[in-house]
Amino acid sequence: MEVVKDKPVAKKVTAPKLEKDGESAKWLEDRGICLQTAIRSGVVPAQKKYKPVIGFSFVDDKDNVVAMKYRSANGEKMFWWEGSVNRLWGQNPKDENLKDIEDTIVITEGEMDCLAIKTAFKDYANIEVYSVPNGAPSKITDNKIDPSEDNKFKYVWEDREKFEGVSRIILATDNDNAGDVLAHELARRLNIARCYRIDYKGHKDSNDVLMVEGAEICMSKANLEESQQVSQTLILSLPSPLEIYLL
């Protein structure tokens, strides 16, 4: 008889004390992020060793914190981890007073871009947005993909149930070479026929659009449920400066 091994249980991690009025919270707000939206998404503005930090909590199916990813919130851009996890980041609680953008998932290159999109949509619709946990790779690899050895993109396979039955995956990666590489690699694993890409029209990323153009332009009152055929390219009805194209 075959013995089925249980999956290893991730160790719990203690999240820091949440500070709604500290330097970290102000840092988020200065970047255009709605603090309430950030906290509902799993963000913990806090202090570590007397320095302001932003904690991004990863939880299991029972809402236990199993890992924390931190970034400094004092002008430096430093990242570190407590615990280890290969999952997408971002909790998506729904506002029952808003409609759902169904059959659509957005994936960003970083947590701040994830929060920017959530902030832009917070008064309009519930939209499912996640960030990759480890940024973008530096170069494209065209090797055959074996899920058992695909360590850099293990989070895709660990969270594969999120994508089951979803027909539209929007890749909100950065407007640079690394963002191009990440979009390419994600599309290879998620079925290119259902993957779309945001064109930032000169902006670097979603948080940049939010800070420079504001929430209304970042979200542009887009109805992501509608699409139309334009030549050989599918484009969602998202006005300038954000346009989403099929890769």
What rounded mean pLDDT belongs to the chain? 84
* Nearest alpha carbon to residue 174 among 215, 138, 143: 138
Residues counted in the chain: 247
The answer on pLDDT for 2 being more than 70 is: no
Q: What is the pLDDT of residue 220?
A: 53
99-118 pLDDT, tens digit per residue, is 998 899 999 999 999 999 99
Q: What is the pLDDT of residue 73?
A: 95
Alpha helices in the chain (DSSP H): 23-30, 35-40, 111-121, 154-158, 177-190, 206-213, 215-219
The answer on pLDDT for 215 being more than 50 is: yes
Predicted TM-score (pTM) of this structure: 0.85
Q: Is 93 helix (H, G, I), strand (E, B) or coil?
A: coil
In angstroms, how far is the first alpha carbon of the chain from the final one?
46
Average pLDDT for residues 175-191, to the nearest whole number? 92
The answer on pLDDT for 199 being more than 80 is: no
Any bridge partners for residue 195, and if so which? 169
